[in-house]
Amino acid sequence: MIDVVQSKDGCLYEITRKGAKDTCYVVVPNPEDLVKSHLMFAVREEVEVLKERIAELMERINQLEVENTYLRAHASQDTLAQLPAVGTKPPPQPQGPQPPVS
Has residue 56 got a pLDDT over 60?
Answer: yes
What pLDDT is attached to residue 65? 97
Q: What is the dihedral of CA 68, 69, 74, 80, to 10 degrees?
A: 70
pLDDT, one tens digit per residue, over 10-32 is 777 777 777 777 777 777 777 77
Domain ranges of the chain: 2-75
